[in-house]
Amino acid sequence: MALVNLKEKAISLLSSTTVALNAVAATTLFTVPAGKRCVLDGAMLVAGADASNSAVTIGQVGALTDFLGTQTLTGVNAQYDVVYLQPVPNATPVIRKSYAAGTVIQMDVTTGAGGATNRVDLFGYLY
C-alpha cells in the first residue's frame, strides 16, 4: 500500500482576490497549475461595503455554478462583515469537483449591489 502525504492534501489558501460586487461580472479567483488537480473547499468573503443585495456563484469558466450555486449575501450588510461560502451537505452528499490543470475558477456576480473592494480568499487543496 502506498503512503499518502497528508501535508500535501491539507486544505490551504489557494488565492486572495479583490472582487467588485457593484456590477454583474465574473472575476478570476484561481487557475489550477500545470500537472495538478484541485478540490475546492470554500471561499471567505470580507465585505468592503454593504453587499446585502448582491448574489454570487463560484465555478469554472463555462459552468460558473458547478462548485457553488447562487448565494444571496443578505447578512453581509456592513464593511468588514465576513461570510464563508461553501456547499453544505445534507442527507444526500453534495458533489464536489476535481478540477484539471489549467481550469480557471471564477466568482460570478449575478446581482451587483455592493462595493468594489471585497476580498475573496479561496480555499482547497491540490494533488
CATH number, residue 28: 2.60.120
Q: Helix (H, G, I), strand (E, B), or coil: what is residue 108?
A: strand
What pLDDT score was predicted for residue 8?
58
What's the average pLDDT block by block, 10 residues per block, for the chain (127 residues)?
A: 56 97 96 97 96 96 93 94 89 83 96 94 96
- Number of domains making up the chain: 1
What pLDDT score was predicted for residue 2?
47
61 found inside a domain: yes
Pairing between β-strand 98-99 and β-strand 38-46 as defined by DSSP bridges: antiparallel
What pLDDT score was predicted for residue 66?
92
Give 11-68 as a DSSP string: -EEEEEEEE--SSSEEEEEEEPPTT--EEEEEEEEE-SS--TT-EEEEEETTEEEEEE
6 found inside a domain: no
90 found inside a domain: yes
Residue 105's domain spans which residues?
A: 11-126
What pLDDT score was predicted for residue 7?
55
Q: Considering the entire predicted model, what is its pTM?
A: 0.88
4 found inside a domain: no
What pLDDT score was predicted for residue 10?
87
What pLDDT score was predicted for residue 89?
75
What pLDDT score was predicted for residue 92?
74
114 found inside a domain: yes
Cα(60)–Cα(58) distance, integer angstroms: 7
Cα(47)–Cα(60) distance, integer angstroms: 23
92 found inside a domain: yes
Cα(114)–Cα(90) distance, integer angstroms: 30
What pLDDT score was predicted for residue 4?
47
49 found inside a domain: yes
118 found inside a domain: yes
What pLDDT score was predicted for residue 27?
97
